[in-house]
Amino acid sequence: MYICMCNALRDKELAAAGKDARTVADVFRRCGSRPQCGKCLPDVAQIIEDVRTREHGVQKIAAE
């Protein structure tokens, strides 16, 4: 599925680029592109978080 329409980046390639990425900019750089309109940035940030959770077992704990 396409996440970034401006750069034609799919979720799988963003997830691959998101491994050990610290920022959204890192992910775009690894994909050889740059953010354009910015609409996808929250989704790319979520992909980075999902990859971290999956790979490092980091989980958010809801504050109660």
Does the footprint of ligand FES cover residue 37 (CB under 6 A)?
yes
**Residue type, position 34, single letter:** R
- Answer for which of 8, 10, 38, 55 binds ligand FES (CB under 6 A) is 38
Q: How far is the CB of 27 from ligand FES (least distance, A)?
A: 11
What is the helix (H) or strand (E) element at residue 50, kind and residue range?
helix 41-56
CB 50 within 8 A of CB 15: yes
Q: How far is the CB of 22 from ligand FES (least distance, A)?
A: 19
Contacts of 61 by beta carbon, 8 Å cutoff, 6+ apart: none
Residues that bind ligand FES in the complex, under the rule CB under 6 A: 4-7, 35-40
